[in-house]
Chain A
């Protein structure tokens, strides 16, 4: 018997879907085994997660609420990852967007009506996120600084800036000494779909962003350049693509839409700035899996975003009903990611097992 690994010549969309479904199922199976190993009934726990997020109207509304930032960030990451720019700083870009947007809301909000102040806040959010994304982009192209490390460091720096602001100069006068800013004025607060926490302005913005970025990636010369830089940098260089300009634009978009998510969370849900952990429950990191699961396709980001938002909501559900720790949901994310990686490998490679290896003919000398 002989096992050989060979490259698959042709990959059809059918193969892709099959690999994806199989990866997710295999992942769920292993997650079940992990639960079992720790004495948790896997059917009950996994069932509870999906029942909690997709099984009730209340749960589904929460899922959509949490999908908003995941879709926004995920689609921004998809475009960055396409150019092989490993932006893992979306968490910081989200927070910087929240900081910029909240400043505009707090300072200009009292004098301006909602139709003026809300676009201004989102614009500020975009600028904040974009600045935080542009710094590592600049570093990478000008000084060859590994963006994985720099974007990661920028996350922590931004979190500390935020904490500094809320315990220091921006601390609210109406918050009884708590480390929060004051509430945004009424005109700067987003309306919700009645009976839910869905801030539909941001949801609409997220869907619009998906549409626009899909067109940008697939229908424009810029999108072609982005893909070319990622897939074939040598040819891209030869074709005269301006790496510096393109990378800066990519990261301005990627960071900027994460900034949208940040100000959306503040203006839609929290209404004031508080600790980084409460503004984002790790959306910047979860969105990396969202983008990966979506195969970096903007439209698939919507589905993947809702799926992972569901796991987040379901994670809260099992935390309450089964008394499991908050980190349990990380097992879901981690395991699924591992299986997506494996699925990718088997999509690109074939394993051929030859059971009958022809026996070598041996000549006997007589």
Chain B
């Protein structure tokens, strides 16, 4: 029994980590007022990039860096369209997803089915590794897990307590007033979209060089869309995203665990989406100001327009 609990808890954290990484990025992006529906595509690009670079260099850390870079680079498209051209963010986000899925499929064509000989090894935290049960769950994880937690903390602190965070949030709340304060809203939003892209790239790398050590087409399997849902579920707060990501990760694991007991895995698979709708409903019923929703999310901002 103890073994099962440890294994379920461990796998929950493993499944939740890529979701958390992607969600931190989307939270930052949406806080600046930009809705980015391209996560699924960018994640896929990150996954294939990390795989190919690790495949040739035999160094997963290089693979991770390349994935972050690739994620940022392809996100420029969304930044250009939504910030510079003030286009509809839904449409350009979807374009990014399509493009990302297409390019990653084409780039990864000849790597399908080839396993990596190295991967991001798990890392046991010294000293803490002596606590029974707990250490196995929390302190013998892939570096992605620790990085995700630290980055969530950093993103939360930055958004809530620093000047940069105030600038990002006010760009999402009231871009006109922000601009009047001498802040370059376009620059902030570009930065946030690129940063979000980097996070999605990292989430993709997590999948291809740590979660599994292979590349197949469509390996992101809708995680990018779960990230969009999680961002709302977390009410645009990186620390709440931690709870949300591992909750959703747990649902992933439970699908397989509860199937033999006669509980339909489809109902469990539905839960993240139902939960998100429920959270949206709560936001709608409550006061959206109190719940952090960026006021100008998804609204194009044109400089100098009255």
A325 to B217, CA, bound (A): 8
Contact A338 B92 (CB under 8 A): yes
Chain A: minimal CB distance from B111 (Å):
11
Point out the residues of chain B lying under 8 angstroms from A163, CB to CB.
Answer: 266
Point out the residues of chain A lying under 8 angstroms from B101, CB to CB.
Answer: 327, 330, 334
Asked if A178 CB lies within 8 Å of chain B CBs, one says: no
Q: Write out, one digit per residue, whether chain B residues 173-217 have a CB within 8 A of any chain A CB (1) or not (0).
A: 000000000000000000000000000000000000000000001
Point out the residues of chain B lying under 8 angstroms from A345, CB to CB.
Answer: 85-87
Q: Please tell me which one of the listed residues B109, B232, B264, B267 contacts residue A324 in the complex, with CB atoms under 8 A apart.
A: B109
Residue on A with the closest CB to B276?
A153
Contact B102 A338 (CB under 8 A): no
Asked if A95 CB lies within 8 Å of chain B CBs, one says: no
Interface residues of B in 202-240 (CB under 8 A from A): 217-218, 222, 225, 228-229, 232
Contact B81 A342 (CB under 8 A): yes
A111-119, A139-147, A352-360 - interface stretch:
A139-147
- Given the interface contacts A149-B280, A325-B109, A345-B85, does A337 sit within 8 Å of B285 by beta carbon? no
Interface residues of A in 320-347 (CB under 8 A from B): 323-335, 337-338, 341-342, 344-345
Asked if B166 CB lies within 8 Å of chain A CBs, one says: no
Question: Would you give 12 A-B contacts (Cβ < 8 Å), ordered by A?
Answer: A143-B283, A153-B277, A156-B273, A160-B267, A161-B266, A163-B266, A164-B267, A325-B217, A327-B105, A333-B95, A337-B94, A338-B92
Contact B264 A326 (CB under 8 A): no
Q: Please tell me which one of the listed residues A160, A164, A341 contacts residue B87 in the complex, with CB atoms under 8 A apart.
A: A341
Q: Please tell me which one of the listed residues A153, A167, A337, A341 contacts residue B273 in the complex, with CB atoms under 8 A apart.
A: A153
Contact B106 A146 (CB under 8 A): no
Contact A334 B85 (CB under 8 A): no
Interface residues of A in 151-185 (CB under 8 A from B): 152-154, 156-157, 160-161, 163-164, 167-168
Point out the residues of chain B lying under 8 angstroms from A337, CB to CB.
Answer: 91-92, 94-95, 98
- Given the interface contacts A142-B284, A160-B269, A168-B264, does A88 sit within 8 Å of B98 by beta carbon? no
Point out the residues of chain A lying under 8 angstroms from B218, CB to CB.
Answer: 327
Asked if A21 CB lies within 8 Å of chain B CBs, one says: no
Name the residue among B98, B264, B276 with the largest chain A CB count within 10 angstroms: B98
Contact B102 A333 (CB under 8 A): yes
A157 to B270, CA, bound (A): 5
Point out the residues of chain A lying under 8 angstroms from B96, CB to CB.
Answer: 334
Contact B217 A324 (CB under 8 A): no
A331 to B77, CA, bound (A): 13
A325 to B266, CA, bound (A): 28
Contact A331 B102 (CB under 8 A): yes
Contact A160 B266 (CB under 8 A): yes
Please report whether the interface of chain A is mostly helix, strand, loop or mixed according to DSSP.
helix
Q: Please tell me which one of the listed residues A288, A292, A324, A331 contacts residue B99 in the complex, with CB atoms under 8 A apart.
A: A331
- Given the interface contacts A160-B266, A337-B91, does A150 sit within 8 Å of B98 by beta carbon? no
Residue on B with the closest CB to A168?
B264
A338 to B267, CA, bound (A): 36
Interface residues of B in 235-285 (CB under 8 A from A): 264, 266-267, 269-270, 273-274, 276-277, 280-281, 283-285
Point out the residues of chain B lying under 8 angstroms from A331, CB to CB.
Answer: 98-99, 102-103, 106
Contact B99 A341 (CB under 8 A): no
Q: Write out, one digit per residue, whether chain A residues 288-317 have a CB within 8 A of any chain B CB (1) or not (0).
A: 100010000000000000000000000000
A143 to B282, CA, bound (A): 9
A342 to B85, CA, bound (A): 7
Chain A: minimal CB distance from B40 (Å):
11
Asked if A86 CB lies within 8 Å of chain B CBs, one says: yes
Give 3 closest A-B pairs by Cβ, nearest first. A143-B284, A327-B105, A334-B99
Contact A146 B90 (CB under 8 A): no
Point out the residues of chain A lying under 8 angstroms from B91, CB to CB.
Answer: 288, 292, 337, 341
- Given the interface contacts A38-B107, A338-B77, does A330 sit within 8 Å of B99 by beta carbon? yes
- Given the interface contacts A148-B35, A150-B280, A342-B81, does A328 sit within 8 Å of B105 by beta carbon? yes
A148 to B232, CA, bound (A): 12
Asked if B288 CB lies within 8 Å of chain A CBs, one says: yes
Asked if A34 CB lies within 8 Å of chain B CBs, one says: yes
Asked if A285 CB lies within 8 Å of chain B CBs, one says: yes
Contact B97 A334 (CB under 8 A): yes
